[in-house]
Amino acid sequence: MVTENALPRGALRRAEAVLAALRARYPRPATHLVAANAWELLVATVLAAQCTDARVNTVTPELFRRWPGPTELAGATQEELEAVIRSTGFYHSKARNLLGAARRLCEVYGGEVPPRLEELITLPGVARKTANVVLFGAFGINEGLAVDTHVKRISHRLGLTAQTDPVAVERDLMRLFPRAEWGDVNHRMVWFGRDVCHARSPRCADCELAAICPRREPPRERTARTPSRAGSRAGK
């Protein structure tokens, strides 16, 4: 049995205000990654670990031109793929994970991206965050709430969670926001993190949430030497 962590006092009330404010600020949120289908979104999300979406968007057109789907990519070599994705950083592990994912999709799932979280997380380089991004972005499924660096930071500052582990943060946010909103909450927080609640210098004077924000800083994160198995983010 999973025991639920205590939410910060007033978190539910703040979550309602956060949802209203972010919906007003970003009526039609969307990912910054350019992807035409579930496979492309999965690849782009893996590449976006420790990299900007803009950079990923410069790399993926050539990648998808040469290898349009898992079947084609499964036949590529590590060196060929590394040469294309090099500028996204951590290209050894990203190439290894993408080739492993392509081959597993071909061997186990008929070359298709499965629309189920428990199957997605069996792919190399894919954990809950990437799986949640793909499920919502490609299939419209709200199975969980993708917690990336923006979501984690903003959730702490706004007193929505006291957790540090992304899965525990996700669990708290899933209790605070309606299920139908989970995917959009991720997108909206990513945009808000880029526009207003910056990591180093949040623009609190310009923030519509300043009156209710306790401005709690999350514990310092250790610098990762390599991207996590999840691909470490859903939006930069």
- Compute the chain's Rg from CA coordinates: 18
Q: Is 202 in the site for ligand SF4 (CB under 6 A)?
A: yes
> Looking at 30, 36, 167, 204, which residue binds ligand SF4 (CB under 6 A)?
204
197 is known to lie in a ligand binding site:
yes
Its sign, for the CA torsion 193, 169, 221, 122, is: negative
Residue 106 touching ligand SF4 (CB under 6 A): no
Tokens of 65: 């031109």
Q: Determine contact, residues 73/98, Cβ cutoff 8 Å.
A: yes
Q: Is 20 in the site for ligand SF4 (CB under 6 A)?
A: no
> Is residue 46 close enough to count as binding ligand SF4 by CB under 6 A?
no
Nearer to ligand SF4, 179 or 203 (CB): 203
* End-to-end Cα separation, the chain, in angstroms: 34
d(CA 40, CA 45): 8
Separation between Cα atoms, residue 195 and residue 200, nearest integer Å: 12
Interface size with ligand SF4, residues (CB under 6 A): 12
CA dihedral 162→188→143→216, nearest 10 degrees, is 0
Instruction: Indicate which single residue of 19, 117, 121, 196 sits in contact with ligand SF4 (rule: CB under 6 A).
Output: 196
Distance, CA of 201 to CA of 218 (rounded, Å): 14
129 is catalytic: yes
Looking at residues 205 to 234 of the shown chain, list those that interact with ligand SF4 (rule: CB under 6 A): 207, 209-210, 213, 215
CA distance 180 to 177: 8
C-beta closer to ligand SF4: residue 72 or 208: 208
Residues 155-174, one symbol each (x = binds ligand SF4 by CB under 6 A, - = not), give --xx----------------
Nearer to ligand SF4, 134 or 154 (CB): 154
Which of 44, 209 has the CB closer to ligand SF4?
209
Q: How far is the CB of 11 from ligand SF4 (least distance, A)?
A: 14
Residue type, 39: W
148 is catalytic: yes
Helices marked H in the chain: 11-25, 38-47, 53-66, 70-73, 78-85, 91-108, 117-120, 128-139, 149-157, 166-176, 182-195
User: Between residues 141 and 196, which has the closer beta carbon with respect to ligand SF4?
Assistant: 196
Under rule CB under 6 A, residue 151 binds ligand SF4: no
Residues serving a catalytic function are: 129, 148
Q: Which residues are annotated as a binding site for [4Fe-4S] cluster?
A: 197, 204, 207, 213
Q: Which residues bind ligand SF4 (CB under 6 A)?
A: 157-158, 196-197, 202-204, 207, 209-210, 213, 215
